A and B are shown apart, each in its own frame.
Chain A
Amino acid sequence: MGKFNKSGKKGMPELNTSSLPDLIFTLLFFFMIITTMREVTLKVQFKAPQATELEKLEKKSLVTFIYVGKPLQQYQAKMGGETRIQLNDKFEDVSAVQDYIYQERENMKEEDKPFMQVSLKVDRDTKMGIVTEVKQALRQAYALNINYSATRRE
């Protein structure tokens, strides 16, 4: 019964990989669409507070971020351990918030300006004193739509 293994040297047929690039490209496009560019490198410790009544930030182009928290470990030697405000990539004072908002608003499209939104990313252990100062500055700058960044409580 020598029916099987006639040739004895029939190796595996080679796998066709010509569609592999297409597969990877599909993955690539998927990730390009659902993710957003990281805009700034965080220089302050930020642990979001928790809440339940959350609303999503709809349009990223309308949103300006303000980070408030204690400086990260590697900056603490220079900046100290007090709570700081981070605008773009720099530590700033409360007095700089108003100018920052004006500047950001200048960079926005004319029709988008009334819908400007400010997302306050404040560390959960921050004291309210500095947050209130930031809020007063935002009021002065007429940036009235704000969003307290938070994560969903389970």
Chain B
Amino acid sequence: MARKKRETPGINSSSTADMAFILLIFFLVTTSMDTDAGLARRLPPPPDPNVKQQDNIVVKERNVLMVRLNKDNQLMVGSEYMEIGQLRAKAKEFIANPANMDNLPEKHLKNIPLLGGDCMVTEKHVISVQNDVGTSYQAYLDVQNELVAAYNELRNELAQAKFNKTYAQCEEDEQKAIRDFYPQKISEAEPKKYGGK
């Protein structure tokens, strides 16, 4: 039987745009654009209950920078009051000890091949942050931020001097060498209540 070829009528697609619009609006509503960013930190592992806590770990006084925050968000670094803006410079001086001062952290010989062999490194330094129960979170984060910034600036300066690029641009092993030179040592003491709530 010979059949006449019939043409199929085209499907009306004028409404696909509307459908796509509805999908688009759905996704706009249910999703959020915000890329999350924040200050990355690492917590120390919990104390082992089987091992007796050694309370009298001897750390030389010159190796410790005490940073204290009280309930009114006042900052005390070492033994003096300080504004948050001064903390970064103070921390940098403490970490690097550029002038080999007696009251700043002692330096130890350390062999870091990528940085040209033996280096004098203040690897025993500790920055101890202590805050009150009543300290506000913003103040606490400001302090953390300044300390991390101090490390980042020092690392960047070293990377510029040695490799002629920023720390972020360095290769993995170069970054590790720099981290060996300026290890990040921020310890957080158990919070204490200074005088009332």
Contacts and interface: CB of A to CB of B under 8 A. Distances in A.
Interface residues of A, number: 52
A132 to B, nearest CB: 5
A55 B40 CA distance: 7
Given A128-B136, A128-B137, A24 B27 contact: no
A18 interface: yes
Nearest to B15: A21
Given A128-B135, A152-B37, A51 B145 contact: yes
Interface of A is mostly: mixed
A119 B152 CA distance: 21
Interface in B124-141: 131-138, 140-141
Given A31-B31, A139-B44, A49 B137 contact: yes
Interface in B29-68: 30-33, 35-46
Nearest to B134: A127
Contact of B39 (A28, A54, A145): A54
B14 interface: yes
Interface of B is mostly: mixed
B134 A150 contact: no
Interface residues of B, number: 44
Given A21-B17, A139-B44, A125 B136 contact: yes
A90 interface: no
B32 A38 contact: yes
A19 B25 CA distance: 19
A128 B134 contact: yes
Interface string A119-137: 1101111111101100100
A144 interface: yes
A150 B37 contact: yes
Contact of A53 (B32, B42, B145): B145
Interface string A51-66: 1111111000001000
Contacts of A123: 137
Interface of A: 17-18, 20-21, 24-25, 27-28, 31-32, 34-38, 49-57, 63, 119-120, 122-129, 131-132, 135, 138-140, 142-152
Please list the 7 inter-chain residue pairs (A to B) with the smallest Cβ-Cβ separation, ordered nearest first. A35-B31, A129-B133, A24-B20, A21-B16, A149-B38, A54-B37, A147-B38
